Chains A and B, each alone.
Chain A
Amino acid sequence: MIPVLSAMGVGVRVGPKQLLDGVDLQLAAGEVTAIVGVNGAGKSTLLRVLAGELTPHAGHVELLGRNLTAWRPAEMARVRAVMTQHSDITFPFVVEEVVALGRFPHGGGESLEDYEIVQAALEFADAGHLVGRRYPTLSGGERQRVQLARALAQLWDTTGPRVLLLDEPSASLDLVHAHRTLQQVRRFSRSGACVVVVLHDLNAAARHADTLVMLDAGRVVARGNPAKVLCEDVLTAAYGPHLEIYQHPHGPWPVVLPRANELSTLAAELQPITLGQQPCEHS
């Protein structure tokens, strides 16, 4: 395996707090890698370091064997696209104009070819029906799909290795759209893209990623296929004794749920309000 993107001993510190500590990663083309972990484990920080947005205090990141700092921004933008969680645009651009911004590193987004790529990326991201809508009027989930289309448009016709970095691309999406979106991201990776996605939903990660990287307090505590990472020991170490692992009834994926007795404790706490209304009578 030749790594497309690799982190070498990456460490990030803010004041006394070590956000990332000695992170080593090798990421290959054609695969989806999900970065998982509790809130504040350093997932987004790691993604920002991989994107070159944040320069690590220790170690470095290599894209196609070259230190990120040695890339010119315009050159990097042709092989690497990033979708951040930030998706506000104050000015009333229409959806296609936002996606066409993804063609900026390829010369603007004005040619017929660019126009076709924008349409194709929108369809691919399940946002084709939003064409002509003003971006600020979209819902959070619709904005996320448009932003994904923009990131895809940036890499659409790049031949050779390319990297797509996504920070919680399904955070505002309903369950069905979230899975459809991640499925499409997986499809995109199969065309030879190295995809790194930050996810807090362990089940979505288990279902759609080839490799999981579990972060805890800025360190990689486990990595490998979903079945290997989502085991009792790792989850207890990272999340505490709150989770239980099941086997999906119709597939090879692990399913993680809050522990049953945790739920009853929660129900007990809620009892004064909800007691007596629990049984569902017409089911």
Chain B
Amino acid sequence: MARPRLNRAATRRTAIVFLSVALGCVAVAGVAIGSVAIGPGQILAIVASKLGLSTDIVFTPVQEAVVVSIRGPRVVAAILVGAALGVSGSALQGLFRNPLADPGLIGLTNGAATGAGIVIVALGESSRVFSAMGPLVQYAVPLAAFAGAALTTLLVYRLSTIDGRACVRTMLLAGIAVTALSGSVLGLLSYISDDTSLRDLTLWMMGSMGAVNWTGVAIMAPAVALATWVLVRRAPALNALLLGEAEARHLGVNVDATKRLVIVLTALAVGVAVAFTGPIGFIGLVVPHVLRLAFGPDNRLVVPGSALLGAMLLVGADIVARTIADPAEVPIGILTSLMGAPLFLSLLLRERRRRWG
């Protein structure tokens, strides 16, 4: 006899609480670890002092500056980007009923990269013109990346939708085609760009958390929060969708609205996230997979869990990225792929052994 479903709901809550606490610990570690050592108590004291509360714990102005203007925004940004990638991956996998779907698959990441690439090269070619525009330049790359993500998603969605119903197979094919197209645009861009912008483009393509400040966080936070909140609420509908689209409709799910929401919100979350950090691979693919292996495929756990575990992984990866070769910094996108790909392969191998003996 299997456990009653009531216990399943409790298990889910316990898992969510556990993941939240773990994320909190990793986040504190993310602020504490670095070339300037800061104790967890000092971090709390600095945060408290910023909120107008005074404590007995002593901290130096340098420590305060590091927490407030360097590691603070960086850790918060890593949480947001990780959550965006995790929640988007799990929602897309639910929508496509395919555990291999992720933001990269439908051309979203590459679309964002192309948008950013165009601006980086254009800025490089005519930096004298742009330098006069001042702070506007700071937002040009993120904006272009978001526009690229939104345009690709719109294009792929339009291509694969007939009478308001999206055909998943066409969507995947369109995603592959769009990815190839934007890949060639990026190749062309690196061919025509000068040395400086080529370096900028290449570095951005590797992914980095280094460029994020509080302004970036303020732009990312509402988009990621909205996407996460709505997609978590749609988790039961995503469960029903796993039976098939027609079957989900018969269960009373508004399939087309769910599809639209997943497409638009993942484009928003991933587009904004990629805009500030560059493409970061494997989080959206691996995180939901790990949760499914641990707790089963129920999206009511997988979707919110992916946000939490994605955030945790990216904060962790960022700690490694900036300490492993201190004072230099390894691009985080390279690191996540470096850690994610073997992990994913080992998961596949384990599953294969379990299934085929």
Residues of chain A whose beta carbon lies under 8 Å from any beta carbon of chain B:
51-53, 73-78, 80-82, 84, 86, 88-94, 96-98, 100-102, 104-105, 108-112, 114-115, 118, 131-132, 154
Contacts and interface: CB of A to CB of B under 8 A. Distances in A.
Contact of A114 (B5, B240, B242): B5
Interface in B265-303: 292, 296-298
A53 B244 CA distance: 13
7 contacts: A84-B247, A92-B297, A101-B251, A104-B253, A110-B6, A115-B6, A132-B1
B250 A82 contact: yes
Contact of A104 (B6, B99, B236): B236
Contacts of A96: 2, 5
B240 A53 contact: no
A101 B296 contact: no
Contact of A110 (B5, B242, B292, B297): B5
A228 to B, nearest CB: 32
A94 B242 CA distance: 13
Interface string B206-245: 0000000000000000000000000000001101101110
Nearest to B292: A91
A118 B1 CA distance: 13
Contact of B243 (A53, A101, A108, A111): A101
B254 interface: yes
B249 interface: yes
Given A104-B236, A115-B6, A89 B252 contact: no
Interface in B297-341: 297-298
A153 to B, nearest CB: 11
A118 B240 CA distance: 16
Contact of B242 (A91, A100, A111): A91
A208 B240 CA distance: 31
B297 A77 contact: no
A77 B54 CA distance: 58
Given A80-B250, A118-B5, 13 more contacts: A51-B250, A53-B246, A73-B249, A78-B252, A82-B247, A84-B250, A89-B242, A90-B98, A91-B297, A92-B296, A97-B296, A105-B251, A112-B4
A51 B292 CA distance: 33
Contact of B5 (A51, A82, A115): A115
B192 interface: no
B25 interface: no
B297 A108 contact: no
Contact of B246 (A84, A100, A108, A114): A84
B5 A93 contact: no
B297 A93 contact: yes
Contacts of B4: 112, 115
Q: Chain B interface: which size bin?
A: 20 to 34
B9 interface: yes
Interface of B: 1-2, 4-6, 8-9, 97-99, 236-237, 239-240, 242-244, 246-247, 249-254, 292, 296-298
A7 B218 CA distance: 56
B251 A104 contact: yes
A64 to B, nearest CB: 16
B144 to A, nearest CB: 36
A83 B244 CA distance: 11
A81 B252 CA distance: 10
Contacts of A94: 2, 296
Nearest to A165: B250
A75 B253 CA distance: 10
Nearest to A94: B2
Nearest to B4: A115
A84 B253 CA distance: 16
Nearest to A101: B240
Given A97-B298, A101-B240, A53 B250 contact: yes
B242 A90 contact: yes
B128 to A, nearest CB: 54
A110 B9 contact: yes
B167 to A, nearest CB: 15
B176 to A, nearest CB: 20
Given A53-B246, A91-B297, A110-B6, A102 B251 contact: yes
Given A53-B249, A89-B242, A91-B242, A73 B254 contact: yes
Contacts of B247: 82, 84, 86
Nearest to A109: B5
Contacts of B240: 101, 104
A114 B8 CA distance: 13
A96 B254 CA distance: 23
A81 B5 contact: no
Contact of A86 (B8, B246, B298): B246
B165 to A, nearest CB: 11
B327 to A, nearest CB: 45
B5 A77 contact: no
Contact of A84 (B8, B9, B244, B297): B244
A34 B5 CA distance: 35
A110 B9 CA distance: 7
B298 to A, nearest CB: 7
Contacts of A73: 249, 252-254
A86 B253 contact: no
